[in-house]
């Protein structure tokens, strides 16, 4: 048999694979890592909740837990079936506005907590941000090469939600001066802002 014909037959066979089996090995490894990371984050949220003092942060964590639980169930169903899940990707809308406080205020130098009693809202919100950043990165890497199109879309469509949740935590931290945002001098800032010019238009994009 001619090599090209054999290759074409193999490709045809792979395209007819049952949806629940349409996963490449590499894609499964990435998916398992991303979902396992999400599970770890959800379990860490359970541990953090008991240390929260601020009702606003406790409410935020509860909203995240609820949303991430549904996301987890959607991912697991899609991984098992390869088909459209019963509950598709939802949209997370943060309650915060987008106001960022700029500038640095004097603070006491920090050191690692030595007892559980030292774990406070600043610590918890930092842990939450770390969990969400890790999942956003893992979901992005996974979505780039996932072979099953439905599972790829669930990972891909979930990234903006993780970004939104992480940004919500950042805004909370910034408001309480846990996450301060320094700025450059005006001259340096303007030089960086104006470092690029638009490229010439290439005309309409053909499809």
Q: Is residue 169, in this structure, part of any structural domain at all?
A: yes
Q: Is residue 45, in this structure, part of any structural domain at all?
A: yes
Q: Which of 154, 28, 29 is nearest to 86 (CA)?
A: 154
Kindly report whether the global pTM for this prediction surpasses the value 0.95. no
Q: What is the rounded CA–CA span in Å between residue 44 and residue 38?
A: 10
Average pLDDT for the chain:
89
CATH number of the CATH domain containing 84: 1.20.1260.10
In percent, the amount of the chain with pLDDT more than 70 equals 89
Q: Is residue 186, in this structure, part of any structural domain at all?
A: no
- The boundaries of the domain holding residue 67 are 23-93+119-177
Q: Is residue 198, in this structure, part of any structural domain at all?
A: no
Evaluate if residue 59 carries a pLDDT over 50.
yes
Evaluate if residue 13 carries a pLDDT over 70.
no
First vs last C-alpha separation in the chain? 36
Place of tokens 């790829």: 152
DSSP string over 105-132:
---PPP---SSGGG--HHHHHHHHHHHH
Count of domains observed in the chain: 1
Confidence grade of residue 15 (pLDDT, cut at 50, 70, 90): low
Which residues share a beta bridge with 103?
Answer: 181
Q: Is residue 31, in this structure, part of any structural domain at all?
A: yes
> CA triplet 77, 78, 83: central angle to 5 degrees?
115
Q: What is the rounded CA–CA span in Å between residue 146 and residue 112?
A: 39
pLDDT score, position 8: 42
Q: What is the rounded CA–CA span in Å between residue 31 and residue 140?
A: 11
Mean pLDDT, to the nearest integer, of 39-50? 96
Cα radius of gyration (the chain): 22
Q: Is residue 38, in this structure, part of any structural domain at all?
A: yes
Q: Is residue 187, in this structure, part of any structural domain at all?
A: no
Q: Is residue 49, in this structure, part of any structural domain at all?
A: yes
Using one digit for the tens of pLDDT, what is the confidence trace for 84-132? 999 999 999 998 788 999 999 988 888 999 999 999 999 999 999 999 9
């Amino acid at each position: 048999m001619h090599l090209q014909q054999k290759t074409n037959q193999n490709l045809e066979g792979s395209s007819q694979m049952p949806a629940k089996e349409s996963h490449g090995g590499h894609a499964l490894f990435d998916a398992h890592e991303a979902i396992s990371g999400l599970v770890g984050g959800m379990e860490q949220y359970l541990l953090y909740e008991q240390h929260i003092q601020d009702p606003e942060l406790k409410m935020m964590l509860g909203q995240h837990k609820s949303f991430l639980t549904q996301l987890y169930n959607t991912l697991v169903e899609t991984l098992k079936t390869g088909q459209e899940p019963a509950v598709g990707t939802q949209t997370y809308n943060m309650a915060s506005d987008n106001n960022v406080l700029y500038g640095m205020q004097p603070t006491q130098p920090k050191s690692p907590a030595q007892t559980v009693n030292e774990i406070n809202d600043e610590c918890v919100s930092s842990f939450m941000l770390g969990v969400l950043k890790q999942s956003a990165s893992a979901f992005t890497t996974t979505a780039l090469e996932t072979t099953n199109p439905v599972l790829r879309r669930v990972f891909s469509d979930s990234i903006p939600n993780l970004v939104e949740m992480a940004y919500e935590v950042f805004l909370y931290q910034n408001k309480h001066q846990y996450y301060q945002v320094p700025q450059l001098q005006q001259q340096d800032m303007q030089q960086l802002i104006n470092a690029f010019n638009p490229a010439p238009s290439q005309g309409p994009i053909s499809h």
